[in-house]
Structure 1
Amino acid sequence: MKKWIIILSGLLLAQLVLAVAVNLMSEDYNAFEPQESLLAFDVKAVEGLQIEDGQNSLVLKQQDDQWRLPESGDFPADQDAVERLLDELAGLERGWPVATTPEAAKRFKVDKNAFERKLTLLGKDESEVVLYVGTSPGFRKVHVRPAGEEAVYAVVFNTWEANAKASDWIDKDILKLDANQVIRLEMPDFVLERDGEVLKVADLGAEEETKEEEARALVDKLADLRIQSLLDSEVESEYQQAEPELEIKLVRESGDPLIYRFFKSEEEAYYLLKRSDWEPYFKVAAFVLEPIKEIGRENLVQAKTEETPKETAESNASAEAGMVTPEVKE
């Protein structure tokens, strides 16, 4: 009997020790809940951002309240994309570290000499905040390590949102226009001119009329033209003396006329565009330009439609209502 009392007492003591240990671990875990920001910086104070991937390096800088690419002739960057990245970085939260050794940093590719991405935030006072982004442990998660710390964390982030190529950051809508401001469009086979609210083909025959929906669709395609990337400056000289595949002149209500000169590149996937108001040459997807290039006068003009009897009767009635009967003198 005494033997059983000793055994049960031992089991009770073991349970008490286990309960205390679990309680301590639980409190310690709660202390590391992801409630603290991983990076300490003010989004509004960031004036520069450098992204490195081991092979490429990209710099974004804020100039006159606009993000630009200094290494691409200060070309405008996609403002929303830059601000979205900064907001995501500011929102990263510090949770339980998954490792705390230099060996682990190399294994998870967040070491200063081996990383997937190195993000450097530049402040107004030349201060820097550096984050190393490494391997992915799962969907929309990556390993990261703030510079100056040994701890490695797993956070919610997409590595592709921090690519180190200029083509991923340029403002691809930079050439967009307000189609309602277009008053004239000149193409090799025809000219469109604004007549009130619509655009019509110039020099129509007596029995011809404009397909107004098609004319509007053409202007919309040009007004919404989206670029893919910038052409390398070293290659531009090859096209400066070349004859364009297509040249278009667009006149707006205000501002200088715009001349679009499209060149066929060696690669079939895109055309090159030089617009008169921009220095660089742009790459434009072939599937975007081909539908514009193929439009001729025959696509925008049709024979006049005959008036229906009802339309003729209404027209005659309107004419009669407007006639004045002369007064008969006796």
Structure 2
Amino acid sequence: MIKAIIYAAAVLLIFQIGLTVAVHQQQAVNLESTAPDSAFLSFTPGSITSVEITGPEGEELILEKSGNGWIMPRAFSAPASQGQIDELLKKLAEAHQGLAVATTKGAAKRFKTAEDNFERHVVLRKGDAVAGDFYLGTSAGVRNSHVRKADQDAVVSIPVGSHEVDVDADSWLDRSLANLSKDELKAVTLGDISLTKKKEDKESIWTLEGASKEETNKDEVDSLLSKITALSVQSVLDPVKSAELLSKAPAVEFTVTKEDDSKLTYAFAKNDDEKDAYFILKMSNNDLYFKVGKWLVEGLTEAKREKLLVGYEEPKEKTPAAAEQGAPALDLPAPAVEQAVLPEFPEEDVSDQTDQAVQEELSEQGEQDGEALTAPESGEDAVAPAAEEAETADEAAPVEQETEDSQEEEAALPAE
């Protein structure tokens, strides 16, 4: 009986010792993985074949290695910026984590590194294997963010910002894919403009077809070539809608011939959206359609052959005052301008008409003054006849009264 008890106690003691050792080993592993100033991830940048980025609203972006470059399969397989991706992978491989700020599952939500509450969820793949899986959350200072590995509870910080793992495809697009190099070109055709490059004394000279080297304006030609070779795309567009606009005559089109005699054509169609006007670019060596800022293309639509000639001058514009009065342009002869503003009648006629008007006005003024001076005399003459009529009426009144009295007396006598 005693032996059985001792045996059971020994087994229990061994189990406790083993459990203690296992717990300490696990804690040691966790402490080692979250030790400050240690590598956050362990991978070689060149071994990564895909990067998966998920945003807080569930939006997803996939960057996939294809040949010697990168593409975005969910954005019409548009080419991504290899330099931008290489920079991100290098930064993650070299990132050293800071001291753990939290080690509980509840803290993950507070720092937005939880599975259901995060700013970015990033997965790095090396073929089918996962080389890195972490959640990026709140800011931990300038260009630093709180992060948590998917298989750990500890929240640490690394020098990577959320803007560096954007989910917008446009932010990863290779904007230089429409760029050309002047050195690789030997001819350019744009409308009625044909430029050809020739080498003289190890120097490249561009001349305008139909004009000599001396007649070609070198500065204007260089300016046009810069506009052609430095085009930058903004985003990749829906091919169905874009093809419909380009089915009509393009707004502008040019063709370049390279040193290897290969040709490349750029065709542009204008989208006249009031809120966002831009040009659609279709290149002959690419099936995709790209958005290009209108300020980049308008310089090509305004290109003219005569502008590339020495001695060309822009037409002078009317001044604002001349435009309002309908006057001719400033480059017209001065006499024509003066004649346009002169009166139609001679200057002598004007003075005669003015003198006549003044005399008539003075004559009318004199008549009015004369009537004003004679008005009192006319008034006295009018009063005199009125007074005489009044006196005659007074003298006649007694006679009429006496006649009426005598008639009344005769009527009162008795008839004989």
TM-score (norm 2): 0.61
Identical columns (%): 30
Which residue of structure 1 aligns with residue 260 of structure 2?
254
Displacement over 6 Å in runs of 4+: none
1:44-59 equivalences under 5 Å are: 44-55=46-57, 56-59=59-62
Residue 307 of structure 2 corresponds to: 299
Q: Which of 180, 185, 188 does residue 185 from structure 1 map onto?
A: 188
Conservation of the 8 A alpha-carbon contact between 1:231 and 1:280: yes
- Structure 2 Cα separation of the partners of residues 216 and 57 of structure 1: 43
C-alpha distance after superposition, 1:261-296 (max 9, x if no partner): 111113445211111111111111122222222221
Q: Aligned pairs, how many?
A: 275
Q: Which among 21, 24, 36 is matched to residue 38 of structure 2?
A: 36
Q: How does 1:134-149 map to 2 (within 5 A)?
A: 134-149=137-152
SS of equivalent residue, structure 1 residue 84: helix
* One-letter amino acid of the counterpart of residue 137, structure 2: G
In structure 1, distance between residues paired with 2:261 and 2:153: 57
Cα offset, 1:124, TM superposition: 2.7
* Contact 2:255–2:264, Cα closer than 8 Å, also in 1: yes
CA distance change for structure 1 residues 32 and 208 in 2, over 3 Å: closer, same or farther? Answer: closer
Instruction: Please point out which of 249, 269, 282 is paired with 1:243.
Output: 249
1:208·1:301 contact (CA, 8 Å) conserved in 2?
no
List aligned pairs for 1:165-180, cutoff 5 A: 165-180=168-183
Aligned to 1:10: none
Q: Which has the higher contact order (CA 8 A, sep 6+)?
A: 1
Q: Greater share of strand residues, 1 or 2?
A: 1
- Secondary structure of residue in 2 paired with 1:278: coil
Work out the CA distance in 2 between the residues paired with 1:63 and 1:302. 49
Match of 2:272 in 1: 266
Distance in 2 (alpha carbons) for counterparts of 1:137 and 1:145: 13
Aligned to 1:23: none
Conserved 8 A contact 2:37-2:99: no
Q: 2:229 aligns with which of 223, 226, 229?
A: 223
Amino acid at match of 1:42: T
Instruction: Quote the offset at 1:301 in angstroms.
Output: 0.7
Q: Does 1:94 align with 2:101?
A: no
SS of the residue 2:49 aligns to? strand
Determine which structure has more spread, i.e. the larger CA radius of gyration: 2
- 1:214 matched residue in structure 2: 220
For 1:196-251, what per-residue CA distance to the aligned partner results, in whole angstroms no more than 9, with x for missing partners?
Answer: 321111123x8971101221221122122221111123422332422211111222
Q: Tell me if 1:199 matches 2:231.
A: no
- Helix, strand or coil for the counterpart of 1:85? helix
**Shift of residue 53, structure 1, vs aligned partner:** 0.8
Q: Which amino acid aligns with 2:127?
A: K
Q: Distance in 1 between matches of 2:214 and 2:271?
A: 37
Call closer, same or farther: CA 1:113–1:303 in 2, change over 3 Å: same
d(CA) in 2 for partners of 1:292, 1:265: 16
Q: For the residues of structure 2 that align with 1:290 and 1:278, how far apart are their CA atoms?
A: 22
CA displacement 1:18-55 (0-9 Å, x = unmatched): xxxxxxxxxxx9x9763311122232221111011133
Aligned to 2:84: 81
Q: Does residue 164 of structure 2 align to residue 161 of structure 1?
A: yes
* Gap regions ≥5 residues in structure 2: 1-30, 313-416
Distance 1:184 1:117, change over 3 A: same
The answer to whether the Cα contact below 8 Å between 2:78 and 2:236 also exists between their aligned partners in 1 is no
Match of 1:233 among 233, 239, 263: 239
Shift of 1:302: 1.7
Aligned to 1:13: none
CA distance in 2, matches of 1:208, 1:141: 59
Q: Which runs of 5+ in 1 are unaligned?
A: 1-28, 305-330
* Higher share of residues assigned helix: 2
CA RMSD of aligned residues (A): 2.5
